[in-house]
Amino acid sequence: MDVVIEQIKKALRAKAKPLSPKKLEWARRIVGQDFNPLGLKLAEVWKISRDVYKQNEDKVNYNQALKISEELLQCQYQEEKFAGVGFINNFRKEFDENTLQVFRSWIDKYCHNWAFCDSFCINVIGPFLGKNLKLVFKVEPWAKDKNLWVQRASLVAVLKIARLLKPNYIFKRATPFIQTKEPYLQKAVGWLLKESAKWHQGAVVKFLLKWKHSTPRLILRYACEKLPEDDKKEILK
């Protein structure tokens, strides 16, 4: 396992493009002060994870991959953490209900910014749930977790499968946060409602009108972004 980890780290460092102090300062304002990048794009990181997986496909099983990924999640650089997520995704056919609990624990222990949370949810957890809709309810308890990023993950994990879910279920997921004062959760709620509105516009508009006087304006602004102008004006006025 150590060999695989070193192969990934070496490949990442070979393609590293350190940010200038000015760009790093800007990135940390956006992502968070703990953001420590090598300067690679996510697609590059995932390709490296995939290439190393292919090189070791006959030597690493699912349980070993979990350990490799968790080691990478504890590394210094953001891309190493993303590589951990990318590596385990090569074993997605073996994911099950227990894998979701592993993922929750990883977010709890190793996630420190929205960029990692969202990438993990959108690229790994969401697609798994999309193919296993009967397990969507398993991430509902995450909404009550003490960890901010686990709470955000409870929303972002279903973001890209909103079209597969009934609007009332989306509202059930959004309602616990509809009056939250935490900006990272406000943005996630608004984002989820905006995504749902692509397929259930009327229901989302009705939901937003119901809450317009008691929900933070940031949620309304995010949720209204793609709505027709008349609906947007009615919700935001």
- Inter-residue contact 74 to 67 (CB < 8 Å): no
Here the tokens at position 141 are 């308890």
Q: Could you tell me the pLDDT band of residue 181, with boundaries at 50, 70 and 90?
A: very high
Cα 208 from Cα 191, distance rounded (Å): 13
Domains and CATH numbers, the chain: 1-94 (1.25.10.90)
Residue 62 has pLDDT above 90, yes or no: yes
Q: What is the pLDDT of residues 138-178, one digit of tens each?
A: 999 999 999 999 999 999 999 999 999 999 999 999 999 99
Cα 138 from Cα 222, distance rounded (Å): 26
Q: Could you tell me the pLDDT band of residue 14, with boundaries at 50, 70 and 90?
A: very high
- Inter-residue contact 123 to 83 (CB < 8 Å): no
Here the tokens at position 134 are 């009967």
Q: What is the pLDDT of residues 116-137, one digit of tens each?
A: 999 999 999 999 999 999 999 9
